[in-house]
Amino acid sequence: MLKQRLQQKLLQKLSPQQIQVIKLLELPTLQLEQRIKKELEENPTLEESADSSDSIEQDEVLSDDNVDQNDEEFTLEDYLNDEDIPSYKLSANNYSKDDKREEIPFSGGVSFHEHLESQLGLRVLDEKQYELGMYLIGNIDDDGYLRRKLTAIADDIAFAMGIETNEDELERVLYVIHDFDPVGVGARDLQECLLIQISAKDQTLAEVVNARKIVKYHFDEFTRKHYDKIASRLNLEEDELRDAIDEILKLNPKPGGSFYDPSNRTVQHIIPDFILDLNDGEFSLSLNARNVPDLRISREYSEMLESYAANKSNASRQEKDAMVFVKQKIDSARWFIDAIRQRHNTLLGTMEAIIEYQREFFKEGDETRLKPMILKDIAEVTGLDISTISRVANSKYIQTHFGIFSLKYFFSEGMQTDSGEEVSTKEIKKILQDCIGAEEKRKPLTDEKLMKILQEKGYPIARRTVAKYREQLGIPVARLRKEL
């Protein structure tokens, strides 16, 4: 049974302008440049300003009686007849004559797998062996390992290539690949990889022979650093064991990574969003906007709209539709310019609050001077929402006189010392790192001993917390830090 009833609801919805500001706030400098270029290409009423004084404010009236009408690039007729627009007017050039355009040359070279395939062609193999070898090389990963089972590869070859083979035949071809450069390529696990590399060394040397025995027969003890067991089982003196271990440590656990492939380089370039200078004890903060252009609304389209408003009564249906489109684009351009301005103010305001909060750290860059700081602390200072502070800190970097740091680096939890002083967990991690760095490698400090050292320094910390901080620093347990 259908019923009608009245109901009141209170909903909170974001306007398109607010959504645009939020999205721009999250973007780092490099992505902001790309976003602005995209907007310039999509919105014909938005253009770069040669002089920042030319930028149109949000409430500026779209009129300018001093502009010569003969300088218009587009007339209303040009706009309405899209077919007659020259191609050069449809392309965007977002660079001025004074901009330095740096071209990055592409460095061509032989890839890792091409290098292996070229070596396969130099071996004396029949047609079937060559096809099997090519398929095996295609299954070797970038680290140089063949991580798939030979039985599974044999099944794939039967289905994909129609070639009947078995595990023994594939293994014989794989042994041929084991002789390739870089040494150790084609191994199925770390132990086999190290054995291949040891086999390529001079077998008359005692340390090489001992290293081979350790990897082949006592690999588990070696990975767990149970050196005493290895020495007793192989009847090795301490010096002999040390030489053998040193020989193993010289081997490459990822042979594929040693091959230089210029077409497969993963280099991360960090472009700072903020630049902080310290002059005579005073901080000077600025946004890195070197490649971010000043924007303005195109005067040609503003005058076009103004001309239409003066002759609105005589306008045709086509002209009215065109002007509705222009008005929408101008409104969109205004919103975008305002969103960029809001982003600028929000970023600077948040970063200034962080600098003021961590003033002692920014003077010298001493990690121990970092104060405990969470998103809520900066939100209270700036009057912004915690989610806004989180968006500002995400993927942003600041350049200081002592290095480049992620904004997330300055946020950390805190704890109280025995004296009641509030300290950052980063300070505790730094002390923990220094203690481990200065320990005796023959007898590394256990988490229990590290806990006692920190407690003696006035930090009431539990052993499980020490283990958590150690893992966050990427430091292994004491047994794995042991050295001869």
Per-residue pLDDT tens digits for 92-131: 444 444 445 455 555 556 788 889 999 998 998 999 999 9
Q: Which residues of 356-389 are buried (b: 16+ CB within 10 A; e: fewer)?
A: ebbeebbeeeeeebbbbbebebbbebbebeeebb
Listed residue (284, 306, 301, 270) closest to 397, CA to CA: 270
| C-alpha to C-alpha distance for 171 and 188, rounded to whole angstroms | 11
Of 67-71, 292-296, 358-362, 473-477, least confident by mean pLDDT is 67-71
pTM above 0.75, yes or no: no
pLDDT at 414 over 90: no
Give the residue extent of every domain in the chain.
14-59+71-89+270-412, 112-258, 414-484
Tell me what the mean pLDDT of segment 143-167 comes to: 92
Bond into 476 cis (ω within 30): no
| C-alpha to C-alpha distance for 360 and 365, rounded to whole angstroms | 8
Residue 189 backbone dihedrals phi, psi, to 5 degrees: -155, 175
Q: How far is CA 160 from CA 149, 150, 157, 333, in A?
A: 16, 15, 5, 55
Q: Mean pLDDT in the chain?
A: 80
pLDDT score of 263: 53
| C-alpha to C-alpha distance for 24 and 20, rounded to whole angstroms | 6
Higher pLDDT, 20 or 73: 20
DSSP-assigned states of every residue in 160-227 = HH-----HHHHHHHHHHHTTSSSTTTTBSSHHHHHHHHHHTS-TTSHHHHHHHHHHHH-HHHHHTT-H
pLDDT at 336 over 70: yes
pLDDT score of 87: 46
pLDDT score of 59: 39
pLDDT at 225 over 80: yes
pLDDT at 83 over 80: no
| C-alpha to C-alpha distance for 340 and 337, rounded to whole angstroms | 5
pLDDT band at 150 (very low <50, low <70, confident <90, very high): very high
Residue written as tokens 């001992």? 210
Homologous superfamily of 414-484 in CATH? Homeodomain-like (1.10.10.60)
Note the pLDDT tens digit of each residue in 252-306: 999 987 665 555 555 567 788 889 888 887 888 888 877 677 888 888 888 877 7
pLDDT score of 25: 80
pLDDT score of 92: 44
pLDDT at 348 over 50: yes
pLDDT at 28 over 60: yes
Of 3-12, 67-76, 361-370, least confident by mean pLDDT is 67-76
pLDDT score of 205: 92
pLDDT at 206 over 60: yes
pLDDT at 384 over 70: yes
Tell me what the mean pLDDT of segment 430-445 comes to: 85
pLDDT score of 261: 55
| C-alpha to C-alpha distance for 190 and 150, rounded to whole angstroms | 17
pLDDT score of 133: 93
| C-alpha to C-alpha distance for 66 and 19, rounded to whole angstroms | 37
| C-alpha to C-alpha distance for 232 and 441, rounded to whole angstroms | 21
pLDDT score of 154: 92
Q: Are 329 and 47 in contact (CB under 8 A)?
A: no
144 DSSP 8-state letter: S
pLDDT at 404 over 50: yes
